Amino acid sequence: MATRSKTAVQNTQVPAAPTTRDPQDRHFVTALARGLKVLSCFKSGEERLGNQELAQRCKLPKSTVTRLTHTLTRLDYLHHIEESGRYRLGVAALALGGTTLARLDVKEVSRPLMQALANATSTLVSLGTRDDLAMLYIENCRGYSLVTLRLEIGSRIPLASTAMGRAFLAGAEPALRQGLEDRLRALDPLQWPRLQKGIDQAAADIAAHGYCSSFGDWHAEIHAIAVPLRTGQGLPPMVVNAACPATATSAEMLTRLVQPRLIETVRAIEARLELEGRLLPAYIIRRTIHE
C-alpha cells in the first residue's frame, strides 16, 4: 500500500537583512538587498500589502518600492491583486520552501476532499499552480493502489503537454494565455503545432465538459485528467488533477469513473472556499479557445 509521508512545517523568524551598502563591501548589491527586504515583509497573517505599507516598513521611498514590486511581480515573486491594488507572495516565492507553501489556505481546504477522491479512485490527486512555463505541485494525495506515480510536492511538469498545464491555460485570462503560448512556440517551434492542438482541444473540452485530459501526451505511461480551480482573493490560479499509470487504469475508465468525481471534488473545494469567505463570487475563470 502506498503511503504518504508528512513533514512538519514551522514558521521561523528571519533576521532583518541590511539594505544599505557597507562602503568596505564592494560585492554588496543594494538593489538585491532591497528586493529581498520587500519579500521579507510578507509574514504570516500579513500576506497582502500595498506599496505605501512596504515603503514604511522598508524605510524606502515609495517610488523605489513601486519599481521593486513591479520587478518582483514580473518575475512571479509577487502577485498583484487587482481588486485591492495590494500584493501577496507569488509562485516563485512559494516555490522557495514548504513554510511559504503552508500559508496557502486553499491547501488546508482542499486536502481532505482530495484525499477522499484519491482513496475512492486509487489515483494520485494533486493541486498545482503555474511556475513560469511549468506547473508546480503544491499538494499531493495518494490512493490505496500498489502502483502509483512518483510525483511529489515541489515537482514541476510541462505546461503544454500535461492535463494540469492545459487546464491552467484554458482557464487563464486571454492576454496571459496568449503570452504563454507565444513563449512556448518560440521554445520549440517544431513541436508547437502538436502542442497547440492539444491545448486547443483541452480548452474546448473544458468549455463543453468542465475537464481536460492528457493520455500519454507527456509520458506514454501516464494518464491524467484535470479541472481548473477558482481560488480568488489574490491567490494564483490553480488546477486539480487525477493521474494514474496507464497500466493501472485505461483512458476510458479514467474518463467514465474518475472524471465526474474530480469535477464534484473541485466544485466542493470552491464551495468551502466561498463559505469561508476566501472566494470572490465575482471572480470567474475565462474559458477561451485560441483561434
CATH number at residue 225: 3.30.450.40
If asked whether residues 180 and 84 sit together in one domain, one would say no
3-state secondary structure of 89: strand
3-state secondary structure of 26: coil
Asked whether residue 288 carries a pLDDT value surpassing 50, the answer given is: no
pLDDT digits (tens, 9 = 90+) for 261-283: 999 999 999 988 877 654 443 33
If asked whether residues 143 and 192 sit together in one domain, one would say yes
Q: How confident is the model at residue 22 (pLDDT cuts 50, 70, 90)?
A: low
Q: Are the C-beta atoms of 75 and 59 separated by less than 8 Å?
A: no
Report the pLDDT averaged over residues 175-180: 92
DSSP 216: S
Cell of 241: 488533477
If asked whether residues 47 and 122 sit together in one domain, one would say no
Q: Torsions phi, psi of 120, nearest 5? A: -75, -25
Residue 45 has what pLDDT? 43
Within-domain flag for 18: no
Report the pLDDT averaged over residues 162-175: 94
Residue 27 has what pLDDT? 82
Residue 70 is part of a domain; what is its CATH number?
1.10.10.10
3-state secondary structure of 2: coil
Q: Torsions phi, psi of 199, nearest 5? A: -65, -45
Mean pLDDT score of the chain, rounded to an integer? 81
If asked whether residues 85 and 113 sit together in one domain, one would say no
Cell of 11: 514558521
Cell of 51: 506599496
If asked whether residues 113 and 179 sit together in one domain, one would say yes
If asked whether residues 83 and 200 sit together in one domain, one would say no
Phi-psi region at 154: left, alpha or beta (left = phi > 0; alpha = psi -120 to 50): left
Of 94, 116, 147, which residue is a domain's last?
94
If asked whether residues 35 and 84 sit together in one domain, one would say yes
Within-domain flag for 289: no
Could you tell me the residue range of the domain that residue 185 belongs to?
A: 104-275
- Cα–Cα distance measured from residue 143 to residue 39, given in angstroms and rounded to the nearest whole number: 37
pLDDT digits (tens, 9 = 90+) for 187-222: 999 999 999 999 999 999 999 999 999 998 898 889
pLDDT higher at 175 or 286? 175
- Quote the number of domains for the chain: 2
- Cα–Cα distance measured from residue 248 to residue 56, given in angstroms and rounded to the nearest whole number: 56
pLDDT digits (tens, 9 = 90+) for 229-247: 988 666 778 999 999 988 8
If asked whether residues 197 and 257 sit together in one domain, one would say yes
Residue 26 has what pLDDT? 80
Within-domain flag for 12: no
Within-domain flag for 14: no
Residue 43 has what pLDDT? 62
Q: Where are the beta strands (DSSP E) in the chain?
A: 78-81, 86-89, 124-131, 134-142, 156-158, 212-215, 222-229, 238-245
Within-domain flag for 283: no
Asked whether residue 116 carries a pLDDT value surpassing 90, the answer given is: yes
If asked whether residues 83 and 111 sit together in one domain, one would say no
Q: Which amino acid is at 6?
A: K
pTM for the predicted model, two decimal places: 0.63
Give 138: exposed, middle or buried? Use CB within 10 Å, 0-12, 13-18, 19+: buried
Cβ-Cβ contacts under 8 Å for 269 (sequence gap 6 or more): 106, 109, 110, 113, 114, 229, 240
3-state secondary structure of 184: helix
How far apart, in Å, are the Cα atoms of 122 and each of 125, 144, 146, 217, 228?
Answer: 9, 5, 9, 21, 21
pLDDT digits (tens, 9 = 90+) for 33-84: 999 999 888 764 456 889 999 999 899 999 999 999 999 999 988 989 888 8
